[in-house]
């Protein structure tokens, strides 16, 4: 079984057309590899975040590690508020970055290993397009309490879980793909927690309309 810890809670504050504050969720997944404990990041902050900030988040966590101990990162989608710290991860050898290619391939940093597939016993990556038309992915983690779904911007916050056709906050590229993917998440058996891209983690069992 794996553990999940939210290092930085996402948020979305839209204050007029020119003022959007949108820190993305940064999540640590801890699991036992073949020989040692592995520390995996799901999404990696923005291009404005620093490795010092990541170390501060990690020092507030139950784990005694720094950004150099991160073994790999899975990126839900290649937008710059989710990829910024990947170039600092893993110390001298670097961390392996797992992400799909993107219509935003011209954006930096862009060092994904698109030819490698992530594999770990209690961690599953599924394709959940919608926020981007074709390249988004979500990470499902098997924990002792149930499945934790880390969904990136497929769901900005719990409003988009409650109403899978809510596109009012930040419109997805493809509405039908987005609502279908949200439905996929919503119907996962034993779903215990959802970590959205720009809001606090929530317990889906508390939502009224499931």
User: Which two tokens mark 35?
Assistant: 């020989």
Minimum distance from residue 122 beta carbon to Zn ion (Å): 25
Number of continuous H segments (helices) and E segments (strands) in the chain:
4, 11
Minimum CB separation from Zn ion for residue 173, in Å? 13
Minimum distance of Zn ion from residue 185's CB (angstroms):
16
- Cβ closest to Zn ion, residue 21 vs residue 37: 21
Cα torsion 48, 110, 87, 29 to 10°: value is 90
Query: Closest Cα to residue 197, out of 1, 15, 26, 4?
Result: 26
Question: Could you tell me if 149 and 138 are in contact, meaning their C-beta atoms sit under 8 angstroms apart?
Answer: yes
Between residue 64 and residue 93, which ones bind Zn ion under the rule CB under 5 A?
Answer: 81
* CB of residue 62 to Zn ion, shortest distance in Å: 26
14: enclosing H helix or E strand: strand 13-14
Q: What x-and-dash track marks residues 93-132 binding Zn ion by CB under 5 A?
A: ----------------------------------------
Q: Which of 43, 153, 158, 160 binds Zn ion (CB under 5 A)?
A: 153
Q: How many residues bind Zn ion (CB under 5 A)?
A: 4
Q: Is 43 in the site for Zn ion (CB under 5 A)?
A: no
Question: Which of 4, 24, 147, 201 touches Zn ion by CB under 5 A?
Answer: 24
The stretch near Zn ion (CB under 5 A) out of 13-21, 38-46, 50-58, 148-156 is: 148-156
**Those residues with Cβ within 8 angstroms of residue 154's Cβ, 6 or more apart along the chain or in another chain:** 76, 128, 130, 131, 136, 138, 160, 172, 178, 181, 182, 185, 196, 197
Question: Site residues (CB under 5 A) for Zn ion?
Answer: 24, 81, 153, 197
């Amino acid at each position: 079984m794996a553990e999940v810890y939210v290092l930085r809670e996402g948020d979305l504050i839209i204050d007029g057309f020119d003022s959007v504050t949108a820190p993305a969720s940064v999540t640590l997944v801890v699991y036992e590899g073949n020989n040692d404990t592995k520390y995996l990041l799901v999404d990696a902050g923005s291009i404005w975040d620093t490795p010092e900030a990541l170390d501060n988040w990690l020092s507030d966590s139950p784990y005694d590690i720094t950004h150099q101990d991160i073994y790999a990162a899975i990126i839900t989608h290649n937008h710059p508020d989710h990829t910024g710290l990947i170039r600092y991860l893993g110390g001298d050898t670097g961390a392996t970055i797992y992400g799909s290619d993107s219509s935003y391939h011209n954006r930096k940093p862009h060092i994904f290993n698109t030819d490698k597939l992530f594999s770990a016993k209690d961690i599953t990556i599924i394709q959940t397009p919608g926020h981007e038309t074709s390249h988004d992915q979500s990470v499902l983690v098997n924990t002792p309490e149930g499945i934790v779904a880390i969904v990136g911007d497929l769901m900005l916050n719990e409003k988009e879980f409650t109403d899978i056709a809510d596109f009012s906050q930040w419109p997805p590229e493809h509405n039908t793909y987005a609502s279908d993917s949200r439905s996929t998440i919503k119907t996962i058996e034993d779903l215990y927690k959802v970590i959205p891209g720009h809001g606090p983690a929530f317990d889906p069992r508390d939502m009224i309309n499931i």
